[in-house]
């Protein structure tokens, strides 16, 4: 399929049925599998850069929009980590051979959850993980714990909180459904076993996912090779030209072969 033509797949049953739009570039393995962030789309700068990289190196590239995002169906307000993970698993099933899973922000959390689910289901399909400002346990650690008393009251009384965002003219809605479901998928508090090398790219000026949060993730990765790269002047998006080059280099290293030991680049 041409990488510019969206393919629609059906996920869920009954009232939970939704159409998920994905873009797939045919190529060799290991493929690149993209997981975007909260309110991001598969045509964003990092996802597009990965597709361009895949085209240049003949790699399979798969990206998609979560329900309620971009070209996919469904209501954003119905979105939960469970729902979006189910969609990630359904799209991943379209791929073949080993995959390098690349997740940004919320997509970093989903990448870890996806790798765990795949390991339980089908063995060694995950060649490596690359996590950009990974918002692990974000519903608890980066949302709920930061709510004001007024926001907590709104969450209880109306079922949602609307927060302003520098990335959009419209506030980002955060639902009680999202917060409650997130508790089912929390990873911090016990070791995280991915079964593949992990690379973390973190902006030093990221105010949405602070460096301390990403370093906390490193402390939980007890059994896998980890590379942590801090971009001192980088923000949350890490989408400048130099950031995209850094991401591309990390992807090609993962494609060529995993690191053999823990490396911290600070």
What pLDDT score was predicted for residue 265? Answer: 37
Residue 81's pLDDT is 98
In the predicted model, what is the mean pLDDT of residues 162-174?
85
State both tokens at 52.
């361009």
Note the pLDDT of residue 124: 77
pTM (2 d.p.): 0.94
Q: Is the pLDDT of residue 39 over 70?
A: yes
**pLDDT reading at 260 higher than 80:** no
pLDDT at position 120, please? Answer: 87
- DSSP single-letter state for residue 263: E
Residues 197 and 195: their CA atoms lie apart, in Å, by: 7
Residue 67 near residue 74, CB atoms below 8 Å: yes
Given a cut of 80, whether residue 167 has pLDDT beyond it is: no
Rounded mean pLDDT, 82-100: 97
- The tokens describing 246, both together, are 């850094």
Retrieve residue 249's tokens.
């280099």
In the chain, how many H helices and how many E strands?
Answer: 8, 11
Band (257; pLDDT cuts 50, 70, 90):
confident
Flag whether pLDDT at 2 surpasses 70.
Answer: no
Distance CA 249, CA 218 (A): 20
pLDDT of residue 164: 84
pLDDT tens-place string over residues 100-152: 999 999 999 999 999 999 998 876 799 999 999 999 999 999 999 999 999 99
The answer to whether the bond into 237 is cis (omega within 30° of 0) is: no
Which domains are present in the chain?
7-136+190-265 (3.40.50.1820)
Query: How many Cβ atoms from other residues are within 10 Å of residue 41's Cβ?
Result: 17
- Poorest-pLDDT segment among 82-86, 170-174, 260-264: 260-264
Judging by beta carbons within 10 Å of its beta carbon (0-12, 13-18, 19+), is residue 132 exposed, middle or buried?
A: buried
């Amino acid at each position: 399929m041409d990488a510019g033509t969206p393919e629609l797949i059906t996920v869920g049953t009954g009232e939970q049925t939704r159409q998920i739009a994905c873009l797939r570039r045919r190529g060799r393995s290991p493929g690149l599998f993209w997981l975007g962030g909260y309110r991001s789309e598969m045509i964003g700068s990092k996802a597009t850069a990965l597709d361009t990289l895949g085209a240049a190196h003949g790699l399979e590239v798969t990206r998609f929009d979560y329900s309620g995002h971009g070209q996919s169906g469904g209501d954003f307000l119905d979105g939960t980590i469970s729902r979006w993970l189910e969609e990630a698993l359904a799209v991943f099933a379209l791929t073949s051979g080993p995959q390098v899973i690349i997740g940004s922000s919320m997509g970093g959390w989903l990448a870890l959850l996806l790798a765990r689910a795949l390991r339980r289901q089908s063995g060694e399909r995950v060649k490596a993980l690359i996590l950009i400002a990974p918002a692990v346990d974000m519903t608890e650690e980066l949302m709920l714990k930061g709510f004001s008393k007024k926001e907590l009251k709104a969450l209880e009384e109306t079922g949602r909180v609307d927060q302003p965002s520098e990335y959009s003219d419209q506030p980002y809605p955060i639902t009680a459904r999202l917060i409650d479901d997130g508790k089912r998928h929390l990873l911090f508090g016990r070791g995280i076993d991915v079964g593949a090398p992990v690379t973390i790219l973190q902006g030093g000026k990221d105010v949405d996912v602070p460096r301390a949060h990403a370093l906390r993730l490193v402390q939980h990765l007890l059994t896998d090779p980890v590379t942590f790269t801090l971009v001192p002047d980088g923000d949350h998006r890490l989408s400048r030209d130099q950031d995209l080059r850094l991401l591309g280099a990390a992807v090609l290293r993962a494609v060529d072969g995993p690191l053999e030991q823990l490396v911290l680049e600070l």
